[in-house]
């Protein structure tokens, strides 16, 4: 779809369809707000899961009466790694849809309310270093910062997994159970990345209607 086709779809090219444009803008703003709310709800959900995984990992290693606690901590580490990877992917997916609706607002707002969303007002640069770089406002993306936090948490989980592994010794054979858990974690991480993408093609719906009647 080019820009002309887009404008025709939402009544931007015809003054008589201004009501259609206004409704489209209203819906785009509402859905954008809804997507931002969902973004932080999902983040809270993953924070809770990851916090439980961290607690489980250290509880296992701190236990005095648990057999094979290093292996169990390794499993929990893989679980935490997978949860954090899922959190990172969900962050990117949420940002994708949020930007979709922001782009709609950019296209629709000019003929209705003017370039309000695209116009940014900010204070001039301060001469004071603390005010300018520490306590003052900055054009920092909350969602991008959240993504960097998820990547850092991935790094921490990798370090914890390595910590729970037995020391390498060429005399001993490779632990099959450790390899199985690692391969399972890697498999599901790849499935999330390559099979969890949104379908962008056309849908062909199947409709079925069931008949019923009352016998006399």
State pLDDT tens for residues 6-23.
888 877 777 667 788 888
Tell me which residue has tokens 């060429």: 170
| Residue 186 in tokens | 């890697």
Please report whether residue 30 resides in a domain: yes
Q: Give the per-residue pLDDT at 75.
A: 95
Residue 203 within any structural domain of the chain: no
- Residue whose pair of structure tokens reads 């004071």 in the numeric block: 128
pLDDT, position 159: 95
Q: For residue 191, tell me if it sits in a domain.
A: no
Query: If you ran DSSP here, which 8-state letter would residue 17 be given?
Result: G
Number of structural domains found in the chain: 1
Q: Does residue 110 sit within a domain?
A: yes
pLDDT in tens, 63-73: 888 888 999 99
For 31, residues 6+ apart whose C-beta sits below 8 A from its C-beta are 101
pLDDT tens track for 140-195? 888 999 999 999 999 999 999 999 888 766 665 678 888 999 999 999 999 998 88
pLDDT, tens digit, for every residue of 29-57? 999 999 999 999 999 999 999 999 999 99
pLDDT tens digit string along 83-103? 999 999 999 999 999 999 999
Examine residue 194 and state whether it is found in any structural domain, yes or no: no
Confirm whether 183 is domain-assigned.
no
For residue 192, is it within any domain? no
Q: Which residues form the domain of 103?
A: 3-121+141-168
> What DSSP line would sit under 168-189, residue for residue?
P-TTSPP-HHHHHHHHHHHHHH
Asked if residue 211 belongs to a domain, the reply is: no
In tens, the pLDDT along 109-136 reads 888 888 888 888 888 877 788 887 788 8
Which pLDDT belongs to residue 99? 92
- What is the chain's mean pLDDT, rounded? 88
């Amino acid at each position: 779809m080019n820009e002309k086709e887009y404008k025709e779809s939402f009544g931007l090219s015809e003054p008589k369809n201004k009501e259609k444009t206004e409704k489209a803008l209203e819906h785009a703003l509402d859905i954008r707000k809804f997507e931002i709310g969902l973004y932080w709800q999902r983040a809270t959900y993953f924070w809770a899961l990851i916090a439980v995984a961290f607690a489980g990992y250290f509880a296992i290693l701190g236990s005095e009466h648990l057999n094979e606690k290093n292996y169990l901590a390794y499993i929990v580490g893989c679980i935490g790694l997978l949860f954090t990877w899922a959190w990172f992917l969900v962050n990117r997916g949420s940002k994708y849809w949020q930007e979709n609706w922001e782009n709609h607002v950019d296209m629709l707002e000019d003929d209705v309310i003017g370039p309000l969303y695209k116009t940014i007002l900010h204070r001039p640069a301060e001469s004071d270093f603390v005010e300018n770089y520490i306590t003052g406002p900055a054009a920092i993306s909350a969602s991008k910062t959240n993504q960097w936090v998820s990547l850092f948490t991935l790094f921490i989980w990798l370090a914890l997994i390595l910590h729970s592994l037995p020391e390498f010794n060429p005399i001993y054979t490779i632990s099959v159970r450790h390899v199985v858990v690692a391969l399972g974690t890697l498999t599901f991480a790849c499935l999330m990345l390559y099979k969890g993408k949104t379908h962008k093609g056309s849908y062909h719906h199947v409709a079925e209607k069931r008949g019923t009647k009352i016998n006399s």
